[in-house]
Structure 1
Amino acid sequence: MAHLDRAVAEEQDARDPLAFARERFSVPEGLIYLDGNSLGALPSGVRAAVLDAVERQWGQDLIGSWNGNGWWTLPERVGDRIGALVGAAPGQVLCGDSTSVQLFQALTAAARLRPDRRTLLTDAANFPTDQYLSDAVGRLLGLEVRRVDPADLEVGPDVAVVTLSAVDYRTGRLWDLEAITRQVHAAGAVVVWDLCHAAGVLPVDLDGLGADAAVGCTYKYLNGGPGAPAWLYLARRHQRAADLPLTGWMGRADPFGLAGAYTPAEGMARARIGTPPVLSMVAVEAALEVWDGVDPAAVRAKSLALGELLITLADGLRAHGLTVVTPREGRHRGSQVSLRHARAYELSQALIARGVVGDFRAPDLLRLGLAPLYLSYTDVWDAMHALEEILTTKEHEAPQYRRSQTSVVT
């Protein structure tokens, strides 16, 4: 490993303006958690919030909680709180339902904004759900779906929608949202951004970009918990014209009128579908409190610094067959570093056995997520020191770390 003393990481921790935020999370003692890009750590305030929702709100107030405890307004209220983190003015983000549902909503509505165009472009390396749903929307609306490389993006006159992830989930590469949005608009098309690996670690400015639509989850860097609901951004200028495919009763102009025909509500309320997952949304709302007093610019600066430290340490392990896949230049890097190794799965398992939790992506990537609010520089140094010891001693070649046909890889 590169000759970088642990004292360097300790000095960085001593100067860290975000060090206070670590106390807002319940991270198990002795665990180095580098998988926040799959599931964020538990914010300390979530437990009490969910317990109150169960015992007092549900247990005592029962149905009166829809009004008395604000259950009805959770989708808009949580949506606006998320919107503040992604550069969206109030009234443009709604929280509820899964990422898949929100992406289906966004893609279908976006394509219907350009009814005379018959092509949808998606990233050939996009997360599988994004590709599957692009194909499904293509079948539904009779669109040709083409897979492209964002680095060589060409938007022709027949393209209705371009849908890309801001950050490549495998490599951590960050695309130029501003340049791509400008290119798509210049061609007369609509862009739908997937911000699952961006929200909470990147200073995204959806309004400033002039973005059309975006979706994102809340269980990664927003720390909303397993299966937490996703969110949908729809620019105000598109809301009245948006023809959303899922028209549930809560999205109607007068939901309690219980009319047989659908008339959409004004604004983002039309994106409501059915009853929201209240307990999960209470957890998300409480989780978002960790952002109180946090400077997003400081989050990005620490994310980049953590990444630079990890990359420097990884470069010292090249003799062991380890290479850095993630772009080194900060403007092209999200908040994870992916390392390539022929035995990446076995390395991930050996690290977990040592209390260092990252994850694996087939066929040969070790992904290390960098969540700046609860990760320290010494965490990164210690994790890479553990990796060096594993590689040096060939610990990962032990039989118990081999991947079997029944292994579950998350």
Structure 2
Amino acid sequence: MTLERARALDAADPLAPRRALFAGTESATDGRDLVYLDGNSLGRPLTASIERVTRFLTEEWAGRLIRGWDERWMELPLRIGDDLGAAALGAAPGQVAIGDSTSVLLYKLVRAAVAARPGRDEIVADSRDFPTDRYILAGIARECGLSMRWVDTDPDAGLTPQSLDGVLGERTALVVASAVSYRSGFLADVPAITDRAHDAGALVLWDLCHSAGVVPTRLDGWGVDLAVGCTYKYLNGGPGSPAYAYVRSGLQEELTQPIQGWMGGADIFEMGPAYAPATGIRRMLSGTPAITSMLAMQDMIALIADVGIDAIRAKSVALTEFALEEIDAVLAPFGVRVATPRDADRRGSHVTVAHPDFRAVVGRLWERDVLPDFRAPDGLRIGLSPLSTSFEETHRGIAAIAAALREIQETRDTQETRESRETQGANR
């Protein structure tokens, strides 16, 4: 593979001009070009978002002060939720709210869901799902006297409809799964798994952290009950930006969420003696919304709506296909193994490769402004954010991985040669 081919692909890419909208795509501060391959962990900021946050601080917060709550801040979590639902989640208005962290929202929805299925005492989940998901589920099971049914999945894949055979039944209250596996990038068959859960009489909750914004999602059309997701990956909301919760409209009045704060009440200014939940998705809110932290995501949501999720998915597939070709050409000779599905229909927007030296490789790369990430024991993730990642950037990043592997191998060979000579000398 060549740099010229990567540049030709960029020249033919209809989304390439959008890359200039992101701050930091020009170069690093020290003059070296920065290669960013971790958009699946933290998205780059849009220049428009930097300007939006600055205006908010100087005009709305400083200028309007508490009046801002009445003027627009109070409804911002629901308005942004509706925009996100329309642009990236396939959700009609009134079903998505921007709220707490992903962990807190996951706790809320799981507790509410199992309470809505009395008489059922099992939660089904992937034993290799993201740690926080597993920890929260195990904790809720202990709190509520429930049992966990852990499904052992292929580490290079994830939960499949077939893996649920013999697992679901009349005891199943809830199935929890990730639409895209954080480790392998495996893209689950969300509609089929959702249908299987429903056939068993259970609810289903999807973690959309690694899929929202890059994979076409049809929550309403697929009959999904519940979903949560973060906003700092492909939605570019910034470090620690608040997560979102989806609750399908027909289920909202059934659920009683466990963290009953004033913002989710029927009349938030009544300050009455007892909690009475609001109608609709607002009942999923608890405390005062993190307004400043939810500002930046608006620009990425608007960009997704403008470009269209299908066009973004097409670019994602093209980038990951290109990355796999480069990996086969320049990394496979070092013994690197692809740990991500090669079938684009079963792959999200990151590619994971495995090699025993990758922990050391990532350390070297970061020092050189090449930024993938590492997942123990031996995985390196190449996160390709379609609107901000170019083919040339992908090419240069994979070439840098190969160079680091070569250096480590040469150092090891030199050390082994030296030790061999010393051993031979000692034996004379």
Normalising to structure 1: TM-score of the pair? 0.93
Q: C-alpha deviations, 1:240-297, integer Å up to 9, x for none?
A: 1111111111111111111111111110011111101111012222443332421211
1:186 aligns with 2:188: no
Post-superposition shift, 1:354? 2.6
157-166 vs 16-25, greater mean Cα deviation: 16-25
Which residue of the partner structure matches residue 303 of structure 2? 290
Alpha-carbon distance in structure 2 between the residues aligned to 1:38 and 1:248 = 30
1:201 aligns with 2:214: yes
1:11 aligns with 2:2: no
Change (3 A) 1:397 1:335: farther
Among residues 194, 209, 220, which one is paired with 2:233 in the alignment?
Answer: 220
Post-superposition shift, 1:395? 7.4
SS in structure 2 of the partner of residue 37 of structure 1: coil
Alpha-carbon distance in structure 2 between the residues aligned to 1:86 and 1:229 = 16
Which residue of the partner structure matches residue 75 of structure 2? 73
Instruction: Give the 5 Å matches for 1:369-408.
Output: 369-394=383-408
Which residue of the partner structure matches residue 22 of structure 1? 19
Q: What amino acid sits opposite 2:366 in the alignment? A: I
1:130 aligns with 2:133: yes
Change (3 A) 1:230 1:62: same
Post-superposition shift, 1:239? 0.5
Cα RMSD after superposing both structures: 1.4
1:315 aligns with 2:335: no
Post-superposition shift, 1:95? 0.2
| Higher-Rg member (1/2) | 2
1:164 aligns with 2:177: yes
1:51 aligns with 2:54: yes
Q: What amino acid sits opposite 1:73 in the alignment? A: E
Change (3 A) 1:201 1:157: same
- Which runs of 5 or more residues in structure 1 are unaligned? 399-410
Which residue of the partner structure matches residue 82 of structure 1? 84
Q: What amino acid sits opposite 2:112 in the alignment? A: A
SS in structure 2 of the partner of residue 229 of structure 1: coil
- Which runs of 5 or more residues in structure 2 are unaligned? 28-32, 154-158, 413-428
> Which segments of structure 1 move beyond 4 Å, counting only runs of 4 or more?
395-398
Instruction: Give the 5 Å matches for 1:139-154.
Output: 139-148=142-151, 149=153, 150-151=159-160, 152-153=163-164, 154=167
The answer as to whether partners of 1:350 and 1:396 remain within 8 angstroms in 2 is: no
Post-superposition shift, 1:78? 1.1
Alpha-carbon distance in structure 2 between the residues aligned to 1:396 and 1:345 = 17
Alpha-carbon distance in structure 2 between the residues aligned to 1:205 and 1:20 = 28
The answer as to whether partners of 1:346 and 1:397 remain within 8 angstroms in 2 is: no
Change (3 A) 1:14 1:188: same
Among residues 316, 319, 328, which one is paired with 2:342 in the alignment?
Answer: 328
The answer as to whether partners of 2:357 and 2:405 remain within 8 angstroms in 1 is: no
SS in structure 2 of the partner of residue 94 of structure 1: strand
The answer as to whether partners of 2:206 and 2:227 remain within 8 angstroms in 1 is: yes
Post-superposition shift, 1:397? 5.6
Q: C-alpha deviations, 1:2-45, integer Å up to 9, x for none?
A: xx222222221111121122122102511111111111101111
Among residues 365, 368, 372, which one is paired with 1:351 in the alignment?
Answer: 365
Number of residue pairs aligned between Structure 1 and Structure 2: 394
Identical aligned pairs, as a percentage? Answer: 44
Q: C-alpha deviations, 1:120-161, integer Å up to 9, x for none?
A: 011100111100110121122211112113231231220000
Which residue of the partner structure matches residue 360 of structure 1? 374
